[in-house]
């Protein structure tokens, strides 16, 4: 920081009165806070006030400063500072990203460019709000803006609000029969009436009623999105419209002499600083989309909670079906790996193998255990948000754990014998097993929990499982927002092809399976293609999925018979590795999903910590209820 020689030196350095921009820069370059004494910026401001008061021609200087302040337009500063430049999310995000790393020269000689050039931030806003009144009083009158500036800025924002509120997709969220019945269409006219007759109480009352109607319409639009699905671009525009309405109300209040100019100045500084960041835009706009995604995921997760013995056994049987089908998936995987293909076509074939297998499970109502954690975590976050009782939370957590145990046992206990029988049938038909003895030894070593990278790879697989759950939640939201099942049933081409009755039955089928299909397609691509792509880039990665690993372990038994001893010790280590792989798969995907759901719902970590303490006490008291339901 430059050394402060006092405001007198600033005046003496210029032949005439120093430009107002130089004065502002001289004050702002001082630190706005200090931990041990008064802020250096406050000292500079007081020094400036004293030097201005002691100047021989103080009134002349003040008049020249006032003229310097008013000679340029302030409308852009009032109407645009802190508000997004573009009305769509992608363009605004790209602009902020470019502006962050590539400097932009604003040649406009107005107060907006001056404020942007100062690069003020939250610390500057805090300093302004905490400054004493006597320090700011000499400048409140000097820097006051004419009423016409407030009215011009208000009318400019009013036209922009009307254009945004009357856009086609926002009108589609409103119940009016006619487009011009929207309250946003009346904003420009109401502002013009207020400006021409600002003292009449009737016009003020009509203005307040119109603002309330616009806000009510915004609330209805957001409620419609919450019910039917969310678009990030539409949410961005609704948030922009809400911010514009708030700015509009402040400007009209100031034009009517009812607002606080210092409060508006602080708001402009804060929002101007936030406008330069990309994180604020992404955080605010994607929050509602993320919430809707995890809500769709949580609705699916409710089906994976085993609250009774009947539900436990149903989950176990569903997991058994998934495990039996995984035996074929694992055998086909090794057959593809033996083909003389380049990495890309091999990765595509592996992805197709996984995706087809998982989607068949979806239609057969079988369960893949590793899909559950991300779904059930969202359901748990929803219960945390609803502040359900400790007993209800413990019951939900027990049901989630029991369901995971049942599905995992079903997967593993079915896939091992099913894979053994499949390998035995293949040896009977072809004369050799799916794996050679050398391949089996290598696969067993890859499952060892200590001598291999099985556990880190299992943790990375948990990340892929979480990503696939996000894809499934996004697909559910997209389908609801676009009304995709209903659109398919009403499509003329589909109705001609299938007939009206079959087309009508298509809608519930798509609604039930669409998000699951997308989630499994993404999971298949991630498990099949991503490891090969990362390996190609020099980052070796392999998939360690608990059910697939159990099937791989079963394929490693028969190659040693006849003619060789089965390596029971290696098989035992492989079984231990499968258990730990399952824990890593479930723990990572559940933790990431719970964290995502908490952030999307705006929850803090205190609720999760309280739940953790309650669950530990319940686990000590009745551990078996977390594995198998009690009677009754």
Interval 307-328: pLDDT, tens: 788 888 888 899 899 999 999 9
Contacts of 304 (CB under 8 A, 6+ apart): 315, 367, 372, 375, 376, 379, 400, 403, 404, 407
Task: Tell me: cis bond preceding 562? Omega within 30 of 0 counts.
Answer: yes
Provide the pLDDT for residue 303. 58
Please spell the DSSP secondary structure of 497-558, one letter per residue: HH-HHHHHHHHHHHHHHHHHHHHHHHHHHHHHTHHHHHHHTT-------HHHHHHHHHHTTG
Q: 319 and 198: one domain?
A: no
pLDDT range class, residue 329, cuts 50, 70, 90: very high
Residue 4: per-residue pLDDT: 44
Give the residue, 581 or 630, on which the prediction is more confident. 581
pLDDT number for residue 379: 65
Residue at 172 is within a domain: yes
Segment 174-180 shows an average pLDDT of 66
Q: Are residues 297 and 271 in the same domain?
A: no
108 vs 132, more confident:
132
Give 585's pLDDT tier (boundaries 50, 70, 90): confident
Same-domain status, 460 and 596: yes
- What pLDDT is stored for residue 294 in this prediction? 57
Residue 491 counted as domain residue: yes
Q: Beta strands of 279-336 (E only): which ranges?
A: none
From residue 527, alpha-carbon distances to 239, 533, 535 in Å are 37, 11, 13
Same domain, 266 and 372: no
The greatest distance separating any two alpha carbons of the chain, rounded to the nearest whole angstrom, comes to 111
Does residue 565 surpass a pLDDT of 50?
Answer: yes
Q: Among 24-38, 175-189, 217-231, 439-453, which range has the highest average pLDDT?
A: 439-453
In a domain, 541, yes or no: yes
Q: Check whether 296 has a pLDDT greater than 80.
A: no
CB 370 within 8 A of CB 519: no
Report if residue 10 sits inside a domain.
Answer: no
Q: Establish if 430 belongs to a structural domain.
A: yes
Whether 255 and 375 map to the same domain: the answer is: no
Asked if 308 and 260 sit in the same domain, the reply is no
Report the share of the chain in percent with pLDDT over 70.
Answer: 84
Answer whether residue 483 shows pLDDT above 90: no
How many residues are listed for the chain in this entry? 632
User: Which of 215, 243, 276 represents a domain boundary (last residue)?
Assistant: 276
Contacts of 575 (CB under 8 A, 6+ apart): 553
Is residue 25 one of the residues assigned to a domain? no
Q: Provide the domain limits for residue 270.
A: 72-276
Task: Give the C-alpha separation, 573 to 450, whole Å.
Answer: 9
Across 167-180, average pLDDT: 72
pLDDT of residue 21: 75
The 10s digit of each residue's pLDDT in 32-43 is 887 767 788 888
Shared domain for 151 and 215, answered yes or no, is yes
Looking at the fold, whether 202 and 305 belong to one and the same domain comes out as no
Domain boundary among 276, 303, 328: 276
How many domains is the chain partitioned into structurally? 2
Let me know if residue 187 belongs to a domain: yes
pLDDT band of residue 511 (cuts 50, 70, 90) is: confident
We report the CATH number of the domain holding residue 456 as 1.20.1080.10
Kindly report which listed range (220-224, 431-435, 466-470, 499-503) carries the lowest average pLDDT score.
220-224
Give me the sign of the Cα torsion angle 317, 319, 322, 323.
negative
CB atoms within 10 A of CB 153: 26
Same domain assignment for residues 233 and 313: no
pTM of the model: 0.70
- Phi then psi for residue 325, to 5 deg, are -70, -30
Report pLDDT digits (tens) over 234-291.
778 888 898 999 999 999 999 888 878 888 888 888 888 888 887 777 666 666 666 6
Domain final residue, candidates 276, 306, 322: 276
> Does 457 have pLDDT greater than 90?
yes
Pair (115, 175) in one structural domain: yes
Tell whether 269 and 297 lie within a shared domain. Answer: no
In a domain, 383, yes or no: yes
* 202-226 pLDDT, tens digit each: 677 888 899 999 998 888 887 777 6
The reported pLDDT for the residue numbered 92 is 83
Residues 295 and 378 in one domain: yes
CA–CA dist 188, 170 (Å, integer): 18
Please tell me the number of Cα atoms within 13 Å of 473 on its side-chain side.
32
């Amino acid at each position: 920081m430059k050394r402060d020689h006092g405001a007198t030196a600033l005046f003496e350095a210029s032949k005439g009165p120093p430009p107002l921009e130089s004065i502002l820069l001289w004050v702002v370059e001082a630190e706005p806070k200090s931990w041990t004494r008064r802020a250096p910026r406050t000292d500079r401001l007081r020094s400036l006030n004293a030097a201005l008061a002691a100047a021989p021609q103080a009134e002349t200087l003040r008049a020249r400063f006032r003229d310097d302040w008013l000679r340029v337009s302030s409308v852009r500063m009032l109407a645009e500072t802190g508000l997004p430049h573009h009305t769509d999310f992608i363009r605004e995000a790209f602009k902020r990203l470019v502006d962050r790393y590539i400097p932009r020269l604003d040649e406009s000689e107005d107060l907006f460019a001056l404020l942007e050039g100062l690069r003020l931030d939250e610390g500057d806003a805090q300093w302004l709000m905490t400054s004493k009144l006597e320090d700011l009083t000499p400048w409140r009158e000097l820097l006051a803006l004419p009423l016409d500036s407030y009215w011009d800025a208000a009318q400019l924002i009013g036209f922009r609000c009307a254009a945004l509120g009357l856009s086609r997709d926002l009108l589609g969220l409103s119940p009016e029969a006619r487009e011009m019945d929207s309250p946003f269409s009346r904003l420009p006219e109401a502002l013009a009436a207020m400006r021409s007759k600002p003292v009449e109480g009737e016009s003020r009352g009509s203005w307040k009623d119109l603002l309330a109607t616009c806000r009510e319409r915004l609330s209805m639009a957001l409620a419609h999105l919450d019910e039917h699905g969310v678009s990030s671009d539409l949410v961005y525009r609704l948030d922009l419209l809400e911010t514009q309405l708030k700015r509009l109300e402040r400007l009209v209040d100031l034009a009517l002499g009812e607002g606080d100019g210092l409060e508006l100045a602080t708001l402009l500084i804060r929002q101007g600083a936030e406008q330069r960041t990309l994180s604020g835009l992404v955080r605010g706009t994607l929050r509602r989309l993320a919430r809707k995604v995890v809500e769709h995921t949580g609705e699916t997760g409710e089906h994976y909670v085993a609250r009774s013995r009947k539900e436990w056994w149903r989950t176990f049987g569903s997991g058994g079906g998934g495990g039996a089908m995984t035996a074929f998936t694992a055998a086909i995987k090794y057959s593809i790996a033996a083909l003389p293909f380049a990495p890309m076509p091999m990765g595509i074939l592996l992805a197709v193998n996984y995706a087809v297998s998982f989607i068949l499970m979806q239609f057969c109502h079988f369960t893949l255990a590793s899909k559950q954690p991300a779904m059930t975590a969202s359901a748990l976050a929803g219960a945390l948000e609803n502040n359900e009782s400790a007993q209800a939370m413990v019951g939900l957590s027990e049901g989630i754990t029991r369901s995971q145990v049942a599905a995992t046992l079903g997967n593993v206990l079915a896939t091992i014998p099913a894979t053994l029988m499949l390998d035995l049938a293949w040896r009977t038909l072809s004369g050799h097993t799916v794996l050679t003895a050398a391949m089996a030894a290598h696969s067993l070593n890859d499952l060892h929990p200590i001598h291999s990278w099985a556990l880190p790879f299992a943790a990375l697989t948990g990340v892929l499982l979480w990503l696939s759950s996000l894809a499934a939640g996004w697909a559910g939201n997209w389908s609801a927002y676009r009304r995709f099942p209903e659109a398919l049933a009403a499509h003329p081409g589909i109705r001609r092809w299938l007939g009206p009755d079959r087309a009508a039955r298509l809608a519930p089928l798509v609604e039930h399976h669409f998000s699951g299909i997308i989630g499994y397609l993404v999971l298949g691509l991630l498990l099949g293609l991503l490891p090969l792509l990362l390996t190609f880039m020099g980052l070796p990665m392999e998939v360690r999925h608990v059910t697939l690993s159990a099937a791989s372990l079963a394929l490693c038994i028969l190659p040693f018979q006849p003619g060789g001893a089965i390596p029971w010790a290696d098989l035992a280590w492989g079984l231990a590795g499968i258990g730990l792989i399952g824990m890593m798969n479930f723990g990572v995907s559940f933790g990431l999903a719970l964290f995502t759901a908490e952030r999307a719902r705006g929850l803090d970590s205190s609720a999760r910590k309280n739940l953790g303490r309650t669950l530990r006490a319940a686990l000590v008291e009745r551990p078996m209820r977390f594995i198998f339901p009690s009677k009754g």
